[in-house]
Structure 1
Amino acid sequence: MQEEQEILQEDNSEELYERKAFHVDKGQEPMRIDKWVQMHMENATRNKIQKGIEDGFLTVNGKIVKSNYKVKPGDDILLLSLEHPDESDVKPEPVPLNIVYEDDAVMVLNKNANMVVHPGVGNYTGTLLNGIAYHLLQQNPTLDEESLPRYGLVHRIDKNTTGLLVVAKTAEAAANLAKQFFNHTVSRKYVALVWGNVEEEEGRIEAHIGRHQRFRKMFEAYPEGDHGKHAITHYKVLERFNYVTLVECVLETGRTHQIRVHMKHIGHTLFNDFEYGGDKILKGTIYTKYKQFVDNCFELCPRCALHARTLGFKHPVTGKEIFFESALPDDMNKVIDKWRNYSKPKEM
């Protein structure tokens, strides 16, 4: 049995699930898949595996099967799990949620700036996930993380990034959405203000992303692929303001800080991204008035200028393509208008 395991956790991916892939060797005798998986996974109970199969988290050769399916040589088994080995219990709290859409299977949220998505070191309460747990428990008091791991959160965006997130409300919907993220069929477009004049009207950035070798809270691009995870970002210019550029970014993969790291990699750090040096004047003049202008822009948008504007996916129950769009938040609109006016030709 050959096994490939790729853990997609918060330290290297926006997608919050585990992926375990198995290939069944020649000579394997017919065996129920729930029993076979239990034999090849540590600390996995038969009941938990059966529930995962029932909810659709396991596929064989790309197809959903039942627990009584008999494995055979050559089978490719893929198991997606929303478990997180380091995760602590989520405490439900009445955190305000900006709900864009909700039905019995999914909920789409528009996240504000300065809101952490899920609990972690230093942020165990007041996160978006605390609020999601509270909201779902009002609708279904019997719900818990055993029946819906991580209360249906299948992906995340950074604390200072605004915009759209989808949450599953059932285990079946979570399995379906996790597969869509895994297969890169979820449509996500971001708008970012970056330093410098982006020369090409559009482009493709392909470079692995992994932890920075010295600064562990940061990530870095590794174009030779010698470290980190494979990552691809597509971008196109929306508007130019001489010293900064407004761009649209489309994610083909979903690594942590992907847009921020990839744009810095090609020489266009996101505006006011303090972790990656964007909170300093990287392009422009040496005049005092320009420095004052930029400082005013930083005050108007006191965060990394990045917004998850669109989100599209197949509804996990109906199979219908659904699409959502979120208007740019006030802080980004204000700073864009300020740059737009600044870059206009001055009348003689």
Structure 2
Amino acid sequence: MNVDVNIVQEENSDELYEKKTFTVDKGQEPLRIDKWIQNHIEGATRNKVQQGIDAGFLTVNGKIVKSNYRIKPGDDIVLMTFINPDYTILKAEELPLNIVYEDEDVLVLNKQPNMVVHPGVGNFSGTLLNGVFHHLLQQDPNIDEETLPRFGLVHRIDKNTTGLIVLAKNAMAAAHLSKQFFNHTVQRKYVAVVWGNVVEDKGTINAHIARHQQFRKMFAAYPEGEIGKHAITHYSVIERLNYVTVVECVLETGRTHQIRVHMKHLGHTLFNDWEYGGEKILKGTIYTKYKQFVENCFDLCPRCALHAKTLGFIHPRTEELITFNSELPNDMQQMIDKWRGYTKNHKPEEES
């Protein structure tokens, strides 16, 4: 029996849920929705399907249903499914976590640099999720290690990006948050330091993003829109510092490396972003003193200069908008201060 299936997701996203839509065949006999889904999703168990339905991950004709709902020909089914990152069994580790907010449903953290969000190849320990697992075990020793990554992680930020990230503490919260991320209604503002003087005070970058066709660990912008996924970044200048600019970036979509790729596409690679060439001196003078100054800035902020400053979302239980802000981490702040000092004493036209 044929089923129309549309999967709306690709790997180049920092959001960890995909949306699958089904249209039930005209010849379909009445069947419980949980059994029908189990038959059409590879590897799905009856228990997991029922958990997802109870949590609101599934709708039929736009409405949430129960597991005993019997499907009918022509039913439109929408299912949010978890994209399982490449990690092994999660292990709890006592790690320093900067918890900004916590209640029975959500956990908001301010991630430090050089911390991977979830375990994967080469990073099986020391991840944010390992630390969160240990933290939650202190509250509930019976928590299932398979439940946390499935219902906890709804988005991620890069290893060397600092700032705010939210995790769900139960299935209901995960369903609610994942839909917000998928529908791009979550408020996310980042602060970045980029090479060069950004000409316009504000603007919008609209360019598809996909894996780089030659270097598979990198991503690239494709403005024609024939390759990759739709991506939009709004930017505004916060401060101009001669050969670098401090900018605020607001994400309208959430693709992997989106700000890094979009700003490079604009001609302003992020400062000290070694994956995209920002660890080289891309703007400035030929003088030795200037080169030494930049090297000192690299030492102060030995990573991509990007911080997830603001995060706002509708709380899954209260249905109220809650917003969080975090200060710039010391490494970025000290580097910016150093550029401010340089700018006071040097004008670009004097050394160009």
- Secondary structure of 2:6's counterpart equals strand
Mapped to 2, the partners of 1:178 and 1:152 lie a distance apart of: 10
Matches within 5 A, 1:1-348: 1-9=3-11, 12-26=12-26, 28-84=28-84, 86-150=86-150, 152-344=152-344
Mapped to 2, the partners of 1:21 and 1:151 lie a distance apart of: 20
Is contact 2:24–2:75 with CA below 8 Å preserved after alignment? yes
Amino acid in structure 2 at the alignment position of 1:5: I
Identical pairs, percent: 72
- Secondary structure of 1:52's counterpart equals helix
Q: TM-score, normalized by length of structure 1?
A: 0.94
Q: TM-score, normalized by length of structure 2?
A: 0.93
Are the structure 2 counterparts of residues 263 and 85 from structure 1 closer, same or farther at C-alpha, using a change threshold of 3 Å?
A: closer
What's the CA shift for 1:7?
4.5
Mapped to 1, the partners of 2:125 and 2:18 lie a distance apart of: 24
Mapped to 1, the partners of 2:271 and 2:147 lie a distance apart of: 41
Worse-matched range after superposition: 83-92 or 109-118: 83-92
Amino acid in structure 1 at the alignment position of 2:197: N
Amino acid in structure 2 at the alignment position of 1:208: H
Is contact 1:105–1:169 with CA below 8 Å preserved after alignment? yes
Worse-matched range after superposition: 313-322 or 26-35: 26-35
Amino acid in structure 1 at the alignment position of 2:17: Y
What's the CA shift for 1:320?
1.2
For 1:115-167, what per-residue CA distance to the aligned partner results, in whole angstroms no more than 9, with x for missing partners?
Answer: 11110110001111110111111111111144444460111110110000001
Are the structure 2 counterparts of residues 334 and 96 from structure 1 closer, same or farther at C-alpha, using a change threshold of 3 Å?
A: same
Mapped to 1, the partners of 2:176 and 2:30 lie a distance apart of: 28
Q: Which runs of 5+ in 1 are unaligned?
A: none
Mapped to 1, the partners of 2:112 and 2:90 lie a distance apart of: 20
Is contact 1:189–1:308 with CA below 8 Å preserved after alignment? yes
RMSD (Å) for aligned C-alpha atoms: 1.9
Mapped to 1, the partners of 2:15 and 2:213 lie a distance apart of: 22
Is contact 1:173–1:317 with CA below 8 Å preserved after alignment? yes
- Secondary structure of 1:31's counterpart equals coil
Mapped to 2, the partners of 1:261 and 1:83 lie a distance apart of: 23
Is contact 1:133–1:151 with CA below 8 Å preserved after alignment? no
Is contact 1:58–1:78 with CA below 8 Å preserved after alignment? yes
Is contact 1:129–1:151 with CA below 8 Å preserved after alignment? no
Amino acid in structure 2 at the alignment position of 1:255: R
- Secondary structure of 1:138's counterpart equals helix
What's the CA shift for 1:203?
1.1
- Secondary structure of 1:239's counterpart equals strand
Is contact 2:310–2:326 with CA below 8 Å preserved after alignment? yes
Is contact 1:212–1:220 with CA below 8 Å preserved after alignment? yes
Mapped to 1, the partners of 2:297 and 2:259 lie a distance apart of: 21
Are the structure 2 counterparts of residues 339 and 149 from structure 1 closer, same or farther at C-alpha, using a change threshold of 3 Å?
A: closer
What's the CA shift for 1:310?
0.4
Amino acid in structure 2 at the alignment position of 1:295: E
What's the CA shift for 1:50?
1.4
Mapped to 1, the partners of 2:346 and 2:218 lie a distance apart of: 40
Amino acid in structure 2 at the alignment position of 1:96: P
Amino acid in structure 1 at the alignment position of 2:106: V
Worse-matched range after superposition: 303-312 or 24-33: 24-33
- Secondary structure of 1:337's counterpart equals helix
- Secondary structure of 1:174's counterpart equals helix
